[in-house]
Homo-oligomer: A and B are copies of this chain.
Amino acid sequence: MREPEFVALAGGTGAAKFLRGLCHVVPPEDLIVIVNTGDDWVVWGLYVSPDLDTVTYALAGLIDETKGWGVKDDTFRCLAAMASLGEETWFNLGDKDLATHLFRTEQLRKGWTLSRVTESLRQKLSVRSRIFPMSDDHVATRILTPDGWLAFQEFFVRDKGLANVLEVTYDGARDARPAPDVVEAISRARAVIVCPSNPVSSIGPILALPGIRETLATTPARVVAVSPIVGGAPLSGPAGTMMRARGLPVSPVGVALAYQGWLDVLVFDRQDAALAPEVEALRIRTVTTETLMRDRHAEIALARDVVEMLS
């Protein structure tokens, strides 16, 4: 494996924006992205990997920037036809997007690993950074709500993330192995960046894999995380309710608590600067800056701040 300069741990939308910025600041070839697959979901028999797709599409310049997921300028004619056949259509798959899932599903059925499919897709889509699924084994993030256990996509997409979260588990994580080169990448990197993703449902499944926390704690790499929480609310998605379910404050302090033991630096927003002492009490250095990624310039500026802090 080529020595990676930067290894990023990533979920979906927030991570994708940050990584797009990062690829403007460092050579994309110097970056390996390790992506959560606990959200993976089978739709109409197709294997969909939402976080892998979001990261890949973003780095390929194909993402629908308004929605933050899916392929830009996509149509939903197959979805409409599925609706007319009475099939479930709450998981929105666009017509162009379908090609990715058809390709992935076919190759997996042929016996390819998810790693191999992911590598093939990123090459076909001319993404210069390497992208690794966190594992080739099946891990399923499940959410306990007052109405019972839900798969992550049922909770997040079908039910719009509105239910109260009582508990989050990562089924299969204990018996899953990190994908090839994941542990080695973290060990050999110059820096590991935890993207501004949901610490419970996006980064949590990666951390739940055997050996990952230990490798993060022992790697000589500087390990820095960007807080997805700004001013007491997540940048996007259901991080708030999930952090509360874990007893974590919905603030950079909660992020620091989730990552303590292996995190060296937490980057968080200036508006939360008053929380720095609480984070530093956990033996985590703090850096405050502008973390809201309102546009491409802001994505790049945040990435630049993180990279400058590392050098």
Contacts and interface: CB of A to CB of B under 8 A. Distances in A.
Interface stretch (A102-110, A194-202, A243-251, A299-307): A102-110
Categorize the interface residue count of chain A: 20 to 34
Contacts of A75: 75, 77, 95
What 5 pairs between A and B have smallest CB-CB spacing? A81-B99, A45-B106, A77-B95, A81-B96, A95-B95
A20 to B, nearest CB: 20
A84 B98 CA distance: 13
A33 to B, nearest CB: 20
Contacts of A46: 102
This protein's copies in its complex: 2
A77 B97 CA distance: 9
Nearest to A81: B99
Contacts of A80: 96
A82 B102 contact: yes
Nearest to A75: B77
Interface in A58-116: 71, 74-75, 77-78, 80-82, 84-87, 95-100, 102-103, 105-106, 109
14 contacts: A44-B102, A44-B103, A45-B102, A77-B77, A77-B95, A77-B96, A78-B78, A78-B98, A78-B99, A81-B96, A81-B97, A84-B99, A85-B99, A85-B103
Chain A interface helix/strand/loop/mixed: helix
A284 B161 CA distance: 70
Given A45-B106, A103-B87, A98 B81 contact: yes
Contacts of A74: 77
